Amino acid sequence: QDDPVKIGMAAYGLNAEFMQLWSAAGEKHPAVQSGMVELTVFDGRYDALVQQDQFETMITQGYDAIVFAPMDVEAGATAVQLAVEAGIPVVGSNARVNSDQLTSYVGSDDVEAGYLEAKAVLDKMNCEGDVVIIEGPIGQSGEIQRGEGNEKALAECPDVEILERQTANWSRAEAQSLMENWLTSHGNDIRGVIAQNDEMALGAIEAIRAAGMDVDNFAIAGVDGVTDALNAVKEGRMDSILQDGEAQALGAIDVAIKAVRPDYEPMSDIWKQYPDMPWNGGADSEYNVPWTPVTAENVDALLAARQ
């Protein structure tokens, strides 16, 4: 019948696992599988300007819609504006962009994640003892919002002191060195580690083990639910909050198709999976994919889904 709908998926960068899962999910969308949608993934290479360049390319190539995981809150807005001016609807996904021109946003609330993970750490510590915070790259929306959530949880435990906070740029290796150095300067005073993503939490665990200390004596949490973290949760080393990147991608594609084909009904089953997030005719300005705390109970199922 009609030509396939051409959708571009603009990822901020594909070298790390999370965005890889996000983009791979897009390829698995039923509409893509059926040939109704022609999907192309763009790798923003962690540079806001590169993403903007790719928007220009998509405009030139006459894409019908764009699913956008922006590198930067502010700079992303310009890209959105370019596309909207060219008549191409843009659906945000995974990370926020400071623009009112988005057709919709399908993502998860990072403030909540920050709150949940910090809460997990503090609960395990019974609100006693001191913590360190390993932050994402300063200025990125993830760092800002998860940091906000961290603060909110910490405010509930006024006796807990923050011994150190420093960025490890989402990197496991950097977090590991950082934690090794903190263990030297603070020794046994550190009781909890709030890492703003799983990679950094995993780095902290390795540092603790390398120092010959017992990981069980620390309360550690991260965010995202990457595979290594799921395994670590399974072994009881840390807590993680699963961010369902796949659902963010699938949902955003559904909304994007809807924007192009008004009579479209969503094809992905995430809408059944998350009853808290109703489709509402694809007209909502924001869809909030719920966080799933990873627990001993659900971890095996989650790991199985990864294979």
Please state, in angstroms and rounded to a whole number, the distance separating the CA atoms of residues 127 and 98: 35
Q: Which is nearer to another protein, 19 or 277 (CB)?
A: 19
SS3 2: coil
Cα-Cα-Cα-Cα torsion 152, 153, 157, 159, nearest 10 degrees, comes to -70
Stretch that binds another protein, among 55-63, 121-129, 264-272, 279-287 (CB under 8 A): 55-63
Indicate the pairing of strand 219-224 with strand 239-242. parallel
Stretch that binds another protein, among 46-54, 148-156, 238-246, 276-284 (CB under 8 A): 46-54
Task: Give the pair of three-digit tokens for residue 219.
Answer: 């309360």
Q: Which is nearer to another protein, 17 or 109 (CB)?
A: 17
Contact 193, 201 (CB under 8 A): yes
Which member of 64, 72, 110, 239 binds another protein (CB under 8 A)? 72
Which member of 182, 271, 287, 291 binds another protein (CB under 8 A)? 182
**Does residue number 172 form part of the binding site for another protein (CB under 8 A)?**
yes
Q: Which is nearer to another protein, 48 or 241 (CB)?
A: 48
Question: Taking the complex as a whole, how short is the minimal distance between the CB of residue 304 and another protein, in angstroms?
Answer: 14
DSSP string covering 110-152, please? HHHHHHHHHHHHHHHTTT-SEEEEEE-STT-HHHHHHHHHHHH
Residue whose pair of structure tokens reads 């405009």 in the numeric block: 59
Contact 251, 270 (CB under 8 A): yes
Question: Taking the complex as a whole, how short is the minimal distance between the CB of residue 24 and another protein, in angstroms?
Answer: 8
Which member of 16, 36, 125, 215 binds another protein (CB under 8 A)? 16
For residues 76-95, which are near another protein according to CB under 8 A? 77-78, 81
For residues 183-242, which are near another protein according to CB under 8 A? 184-185, 199, 202-203, 205-206, 209-211, 226-228, 231
Residue 191's contacts (CB-CB under 8 Å, 6 or more residues apart) are 125, 128, 129, 130, 131, 217, 218, 219
Q: Which is nearer to another protein, 123 or 228 (CB)?
A: 228
Question: Taking the complex as a whole, how short is the minimal distance between the CB of residue 101 and another protein, in angstroms?
Answer: 12
Which member of 36, 53, 109, 279 binds another protein (CB under 8 A)? 53
Contact 47, 71 (CB under 8 A): yes
Distance of CA 288 to the CA centre of its chain: 12
Contact 184, 212 (CB under 8 A): no
**Does residue number 109 form part of the binding site for another protein (CB under 8 A)?**
no
With vertex at residue 38, the alpha carbon angle to CA 65 and CA 97, rounded to the nearest 5 degrees, is 30
Helix (H) or strand (E) holding 272: helix 270-273
Q: Which is nearer to another protein, 54 or 240 (CB)?
A: 54
Which member of 130, 151, 164, 189 binds another protein (CB under 8 A)? 164
Residues in contact with another protein by CB under 8 A are 14-17, 20, 24, 40-43, 46-50, 52-54, 56-57, 59-61, 72-75, 77-78, 81, 98, 137-140, 144, 164, 166-167, 171-173, 176-178, 180-182, 184-185, 199, 202-203, 205-206, 209-211, 226-228, 231
